[in-house]
Amino acid sequence: MKELLLSWAIAGFTSAALIMLGCSSGSDPGSGSDSGADADSDSDADSDSDADSDSDTDSDSDADADSDSDADSDSDADSDSDTDSDTEEDSDSEEDTEEDSDSDSDSESDSESESDSDSDTASNGDWTVMFYFAGDNNLETPFLNDFHEIEDANLPESGVNVVVLFDRHPGYTSDDLIPGDGNWTGTRLYEISATGPTRLADPTYLGLSDTGDDDELDTGDASTLEAFIDFAQAAYPADHYFISLVDHGSGWSKGSVDRPGGSRAICSDDTDGGMLSVQKDIRQVVVGKGIDVLGMDACYMAMVEVAWALKGEVGYLVASEQTEPGSGWDQTIWLNRWLEGELSAERLAVAIVDAYEIAFSNSSKVTLSATDLGELEGLGDAIDDFVGSHDPADYFGSSIGSFYDLWYMADAANHTGLLAAIEAAVVAEWHSSEMNVGGLTVNWKSSTAYSNTAFCQDVNWPACD
């Protein structure tokens, strides 16, 4: 497969698609404490956080004895530390409206692509697995390890294509990604097969060479994400697609005020300053891409608001309600578990959750869930029924950042309809023993930007008013 790449003529290839690691660089969805404080005292999850700087501090400090230290600190991110940046979000402000002013991220490529290969046909496979490593920040070191974990998986000779876009930072580590390739700092494209990694060129979509280190892309820009998906689907057309977004995350809302374009939530790029918005960027990029599973290997992304932004375009979402350890998902474990059985979308999503339990069974304050986005309509109806007879604030329990677990509310209120709807939507869920959660959080702070989310357009959630 690796030797067949990139000799095709594709004009006007359009479509769109998307696991994320870490917490928002310079941003955080809230206090990050499990204090159970009243939601009114939480700072606004939609406002610009006080993470104006690029270093994050974990406000889960009260539980630091039980949790990993924050990988968003200045320490090396390759330790098994929390990569979450639990920023306190400021009160509602004019910046809340920036979500709506984000420019469309759709990028089309009308030029023909030209390959360095002698083949004139694209590689075919049952699955194309895409990894989007937005490592131009303090998570660069653990992302090198992630790349090696993919190499260590028992990849088949055919049927599963693995494509990686890898962006590096000039300052956090000087280690080679591949032995002998040096401390490069730009953006590179790879295929990883059963025989190892191969660097690729893509002159059409991404404009990347397979030599040198002159290429630098903003992995926090929606056009880069879309171009990567377009390249992978053109070069490796398949029946099914998975994409993992690996980086910092802050939930449904924005990152920090110094990020261009308003609200942001995942994939920060220190060199170029970008960070992707779920509600605008990713929501638009995935349209028409046929993404079966979208993984967010990052903090705080298992939210009903994030799920709703992907509804109708993505099959399953895999993400964490909580912060994630700095090492993120163990790519070897989940790939091997999935590859040893039926290669279905649900099995892939479940394999990631199972692997997370194996990797972090001795850790605290960790969660991961897989949600079937085809079940969101029923979940929305159940939420409407719940809020029609209950005040959600009476059943919040402990907070996760400034968000609250939906299952906990339903269980505390003994609302069987909402419990059943959550059970139908969340196909796999694991959490450390001290957590009391069920797979999806929800925001409580009102703002203009929040009221314009896809979730608020469909569901009568009180914070949407």
Q: Where are the domains of the chain?
A: 1-465
CA 409, distance to chain mean position in Å, is 25
* CA–CA distances in Å: residue 424 to residues 242, 292, 419: 22, 18, 9
In single-letter form, the type of residue at position 210 comes to D
433, 63 contact by CB (below 8 A): no
User: In whole angstroms, what is the distance from residue 132 CA to residue 213 CA?
Assistant: 18
Q: What are phi and psi of 356, to 5 degrees?
A: -65, -40
Return d(Cα 350, Cα 150) in angstroms, integer. Answer: 18
The reported pLDDT for the residue numbered 275 is 83
Please tell me the predicted confidence (pLDDT) of residue 264. 59
Can you tell me the distance from the alpha carbon of 237 to that of 251, in angstroms, rounded to the nearest whole number? 31
Cα 12 from chain centre = 27
Closest CA to 429 of 419, 439, 437: 439
What is the SS3 assignment for 113?
coil
Nearest to 290 by CA among 228, 220, 233: 233
Q: Which of 86, 89, 88, 84 is nearest to 23 (CA)?
A: 84
CB-based contacts of 377, cutoff 8 Å, min separation 6: none
Helix (H/G/I), strand (E/B), else coil: 149: helix
pLDDT value, residue 167: 85
Contact between residue 414 and residue 11 where contact means Cβ atoms under 8 Å apart: no
Other CB atoms within 10 A of residue 80 CB:
16
* Residue recorded with tokens 């290997």: 297
pLDDT values of the chain reduced to their tens digit, one per residue, 465 residues = 444 333 333 333 333 333 334 454 433 433 333 333 333 333 343 333 333 333 333 333 333 333 333 333 333 333 343 444 333 334 343 334 444 444 444 443 343 333 333 333 445 459 999 999 987 777 777 788 899 999 999 999 999 999 999 887 777 776 778 777 777 778 999 999 999 999 999 999 999 999 988 888 888 899 999 999 999 999 999 999 999 998 888 888 754 434 444 445 888 777 887 788 898 899 999 999 999 999 999 989 999 999 999 999 999 999 999 998 888 999 999 999 999 999 999 999 999 999 999 999 999 999 999 999 999 999 999 999 999 999 999 999 888 877 999 999 999 999 999 999 999 999 999 999 999 999 999 999 888 889 999 999 999 999 998
Place of tokens 């979509």: 205
pTM confidence score: 0.75
Residue 125's pLDDT is 55
Q: Using CA of residue 372, residue 373, residue 379, residue 383, what is the dihedral sign? A: positive
- Using the structure block, give the residue that is written with the tokens 């939210």: 303
Write down the pLDDT at residue 273: 77
**Tokens found for residue 451:** 């009221």
Those residues whose C-beta lies under 8 Å from the C-beta of residue 39, and which sit 6 or more positions away, are 393, 396, 399, 402, 404, 444, 445
Nearest to 277 by CA among 242, 225, 228, 232: 225
